[in-house]
Amino acid sequence: MYTQFYGLRERPFSITPDPRYLYMSQRHADGLAHLIYGISQSGGFIQLTGEVGTGKTTLVRSLFEQLPNEADLAVILNPELTTQDFLIAICEELNLESPTHCSPKVLVDQINKYLLEAHARGRRTVLIVDEAQNLGTDVLEQVRLLTNLETPQQKLLQIILIGQPELREILSREDMRQLAQRVTGRYHLEPLGSEDTSKYINHRMKVAGASDGIFLPAAIREIYRSSKGVPRLINVISDRALLAGYSLDKTNIDKHLVRRAAAEVYGKNIVSQWQRWFVTLLAVGGVALLALGLGQWFLTKYDISLEPHSAVEVETSDLAFSTEAIEVIAVEDFEVPETTLLGLEDYLLDSSISKDINTDLKTPNTPFLSRIP
């Protein structure tokens, strides 16, 4: 593989979470602080959301390392369960007996008994639900009811809901307002910015044993553009770029290798910024030329002149709609086809316009407007 070629001890962009490769950007640090603060409040819900691959799982693993020793964890990774199966999964995580045929009430009583005993021993229990946007409405209601388990001083169960942005939409619904009111901490994890993307790539390369400069600055900018700052996509594209560089015997990764790697990841060619601008300019220019050609054809076909015409004043004192002089464009130089004149004649007759004007219209090139009395 490419590790020996680039002087690496191991692959730096494996998508498997590894605490050694953790890059704590400011956004991740803020998210971790929100989680720790929420847990310190002893009760309610903590909500962590983010797009796929933004590092939610990595953040939670960091949280595990900072939890107090007296905390017991129950982690539900697959929440697409019925209410009963969800409660059974919690019991299994807490090493409790969970008969498959018992009712939800029996399971809740078992969990409550465990929490009271743990509290008496000075232990705290934290339930983490990953992919929480997949929880059914009935399961979410059961999760809310679990927070009712409490002593006069504090809640017995701390719940962390981790999910994609859809989780925020679910909890904002009217029927979820009771659960949403119990959320004591919320944080949405955004993708990395361009500067953090550069630091992220260099950090992982350094941990893997690489020297600086394998990824050229232009290549890193291309990775950011292609991945939009999503860490998982950064890993996949960077890994493919290193493989492509190895196969072509390239000691440095440039933007062309990155573009090739991104095309493999997305299954389509990646168009650069200037190429998109060029295509846009060609499209705009083509439309402009087409419009110009159509305009020229129209003017030629109907023998229309673009030269300005003279203007004459016509007295309109006898007209009902105005007592002022109006300016009318003369049409001496405008040749009207015979068929057009005949059609206009019918219109004038239907409109009860003077037959004198109608008679003038039968002769082409007649300045009929100037003959209006």
pLDDT tens for 283-340 read 676 677 777 777 676 667 665 555 555 444 444 444 444 444 444 444 444 454 554 4
**Residue 256 lies inside a defined structural domain of this protein:** yes
Give the residue numbers spanning the domain of 348.
311-371
The span from the CA of 142 to the CA of 136, in Å, is 10
Is 202 found in the same domain as 184?
A: no
Q: Which two tokens stand for residue 350?
A: 């239907």
Is 53 found in the same domain as 156?
A: yes
Percent of the chain with pLDDT over 70: 72
**Digit-coded pLDDT (tens) for 150-160:** 888 888 999 99
**Residue 277 lies inside a defined structural domain of this protein:** no
Q: Domain count for the chain, please give it.
A: 3
**Residue 296 lies inside a defined structural domain of this protein:** no
The span from the CA of 348 to the CA of 98, in Å, is 94
End-to-end CA distance of the chain: 97
Distance of CA 196 to CAs 161, 201, 202, 365, Å? Answer: 26, 9, 10, 76
Is 113 found in the same domain as 199?
A: no
The span from the CA of 95 to the CA of 125, in Å, is 13
pTM: 0.68
Angle at CA of residue 169, ends 168 and 175, nearest 5°: 110
Is 181 found in the same domain as 37?
A: yes
* Range among 127-141, 142-156, 266-280, 340-354 rated most confident: 127-141
Is 33 found in the same domain as 176?
A: yes
Among the listed ranges 18-22, 217-221, 228-232, 248-252, which one has the minimum average pLDDT value?
18-22
Strands (E), the chain: 45-50, 71-76, 124-129, 157-163, 183-189, 311-314, 326-329
Tell me whether strands 326-329 and 311-314 are parallel, antiparallel or unpaired.
Answer: antiparallel
